[in-house]
Structure formats: C-alpha cells, structure tokens
Amino acid sequence: MKALILAAGLGTRLAPLTNDKPKALVKVGGVTMLERTLNYLSRSGFRSFVVNVHAFGDQIIDFLAEHGNFGYDIKISDERDLLRDTGGALKHAAPLLKGEGKFLIHNVDIVSNLDMPWFVGRSLISDADASLLVSDRTTSRYLLFDDNDLLVGWTNIATGEVKTPYKGLQVDCCKMKAFSGIHIMSNGMLSLMPAWPDKFSIIDLYLELCRSYKIEAVEYPGFKMKDLGTPAAVAGFHEF
C-alpha cells in the first residue's frame, strides 16, 4: 500500500519556526516531522511514499535527496506553483498513487499511538470506499455519521454551520466525531478527481460523495493524537 504524506502546508500556526523552513522540516524531539512520519509508517510496513510540497518545497526535495530518501521509494508531488488544499493535493498526486487496492493519506504534523497495521488491516477487509480514523476528541468541527458509522455530514458547533447532502438532516441524531487527518481511500475514487477544481478540501469531496459512496468512521480503542501545529505543541512534545 502506498502512503501520501501531506507536507505542503504553509505552517502559519508554527511561526516563527516556519519563517525560513517548511513545516515538514521543523524538528520535534530532534527529528523532523517528515522523517518522524516516514519512520512511523515504515515500521508499519510502508515502503512507497508520495510527499507533496509547496512552501520551501526545494528544502524538502533537497533534504530527501541528501538522505537518499531514507532508503524508501519516495515520489514528490510538486505543488510549488499552487497550494491546492487537501483535496486538490490528492487530485494532483493521483498519477503517482494509481495502482491496485487502497492507499493511506497521513498529515505530516500528526503524531498518534495508532497501531497502523491494525488500521490498514481493518480497512482492507472493509468494502468501504474510504475509511476515516476518528475519535471523541474535543474540537469545534465534527464529522457526522449515522448509526451504521457512515458519513452523512459535517458541522462547526461554534458557528452552527452544517454541511450535508441530506435534506433535513438532524445533527442531534448523528454521531459527532473528530477527524484525525489519517484516512485510507480506495484507488477507484481517484477516477473522480478530474471533475474537481485544482484546489479544494478533501472533506468537501467526502461530503459530496457520501450519498453514493461508502465513507466509514473507524475508531481505534484508546486512540491518542497530537497536532504539532503550534510552537507550544512542538516544545511540549513527548512520546506516547
């Protein structure tokens, strides 16, 4: 299974650490976020990666070259001309991801205690088109799922905004789950990408497709995660 590591973000929340480098090359516990993510996924059996780049993209390309790609098969999805958001990143990287079965998408600034082989195995035996790792983590934005753990909508509880393709959806009747930034998608869904613009959110794609495609929630028992998107989170980091 291939893995797409989303590493193109501007890292504005991480300033001033990202004033002269990309978020992916910020060191956490002495190791860059990118290397940390590669090491974590490689321990779970991944050997083929796609890494998207935008801000200070040259630095990421040079970093990987200097380290011989750490011995892995790594392809660069070059977004230096345009930051495409999570969905646009997937569309742009599609030619590098095409193949059999499914592939993983993982944000570079997320660290968790997830047993990745468990998640991969759980996804491979599922007939879902996409498996989204979610939890009961407190946030302002939640994905909404029905009683069968299938995606039906999204809400921002701070503003009351709701997005759903289902008319009359009652938010109170849905399961509200926080998205982790870790998900597995069927390769067949890549054929839908050409109809979408160059820049869009992967969540908008899932919301558009959830009436016709099976997009499931997956919860890992005892799941813990850290979003390393701020200087405070980086400074206070410790292993699980």
| 3-235 CATH | 3.90.550.10
| CA-CA-CA-CA torsion sign (12, 37, 213, 137) | negative
* pLDDT at site 239: 83
Q: If you search the block for the tokens 């035996």, which residue do you land on?
A: 125
End-to-end CA distance of the chain: 26
* Residue boundaries of the structural domains of the chain: 3-235
Between the CA of residue 106 and those of 2, 19, 155, 164, 166, what are the distances in Å?
Answer: 11, 24, 22, 24, 28
Q: What is the mean pLDDT of the chain?
A: 96
DSSP-derived secondary structure for 165-212: SSTT--GGGSEEEEEEEEEEEEGGGGGGGGGS-SS--HHHHHHHHTTT
Please name the residues in contact with 9: beta carbons below 8 A apart, sequence gap of 6 or more.
Answer: 23, 54, 55, 83, 108, 109
Per-residue pLDDT of the chain (240 residues; tens, 9 = 90+): 999 999 999 999 999 999 999 999 999 999 999 999 999 999 999 999 999 999 999 999 999 999 999 999 999 999 999 999 999 999 999 999 988 799 999 999 999 999 999 999 999 999 999 999 999 999 999 999 999 999 999 999 999 999 999 999 999 999 999 999 999 999 999 999 999 999 999 999 999 999 999 999 999 999 999 999 999 999 999 887
d(CA 85, CA 79): 10
Rounded to 5 degrees, φ, ψ at 227 are: -95, 110
pLDDT in tens, 145-200: 999 999 999 999 999 999 999 999 999 999 999 999 999 999 999 999 999 999 99
Q: Which amino acid is at 211?
A: R
